[in-house]
Amino acid sequence: MALLYPTYLPNIASYIVMAQSDAFVFEICDSYQKQTYRNRCYIYGANGKLSLNIPVHYTQKNRQDTKEIEIENSSKWQSTHWKSIESAYKTSPFFEFYEDELKILFENPQEFLLDFNFECIAVINNCIGFEPVITYTEQFCKTNLESDYRFMVNARKESKIETNPYIQVFQEKHGLIMNLSILDLLFNEGPNTLNYLKNHPLTF
């Protein structure tokens, strides 16, 4: 059983772990940390790797649990994120196939970051035909399990993870960019996404 953090539009490596686990546990009793994938993801834009960040209410003066973190919805971040996704993938083979399901995520504001991340994951799971058994921690798990993949939330620690190549929209211009958001794989591989995830070497 794998242990992971629920992140914003999770990267491909995280989805490989999920797809190859009989069941997995989401850590939801953690203290929020900045500069992680909790509120960010990376896509492949026309100019290369592009970061999408969800603005949140957070102060370092008082430690906050991730489940307490509220999204800063006064800005038009949802519109900005969707426009960036649309611009990056409108010419990809399967963008139009999944567009309507995913666009809804960026039309209805959520109050809490964790709730929105779960909503994104649920929609993606539906798109790829993935029906996992998911449980959630009731207290922070301090045990360093063999199947503990929480390190993937830290962009610095997982930045060297290599994923198998597939054809990307701007590959001829900027080369292969590994381990982007699952959206990159979905829009480029479509119905083959789950097969890719299940058959990828689990070497992380």
pLDDT digits 0-9 by tens, 125-151: 999 999 999 999 999 988 766 799 999
Number of domains, the chain: 1
Range of the domain at 170: 2-193
In a domain, 200, yes or no: no
3-class secondary structure, 127: helix
In a domain, 149, yes or no: yes
Chain mean pLDDT for the chain: 93
In a domain, 202, yes or no: no
Between 59 and 71, the higher pLDDT residue? 71
Between 34 and 71, the higher pLDDT residue? 71
71: pLDDT strictly greater than 80: yes
In a domain, 204, yes or no: no
In a domain, 199, yes or no: no
For residues 199 and 181, give the distance between their C-alpha atoms in angstroms, rounded to a whole number: 18
Tell me, what's the pLDDT at 160? 65
In a domain, 55, yes or no: yes
pLDDT digits 0-9 by tens, 76-129: 999 999 999 999 999 999 999 999 999 999 998 999 999 999 999 999 999 999
61: pLDDT strictly greater than 80: no
Tokens describing residue 31: 């203290």
Tell me, what's the pLDDT at 143? 74
For residues 166 and 185, give the distance between their C-alpha atoms in angstroms, rounded to a whole number: 8
Strands (DSSP E) contained in 70-168 are 70-71, 134-136
In a domain, 25, yes or no: yes
In a domain, 201, yes or no: no
Cβ(141)–Cβ(166) below 8 Å: no
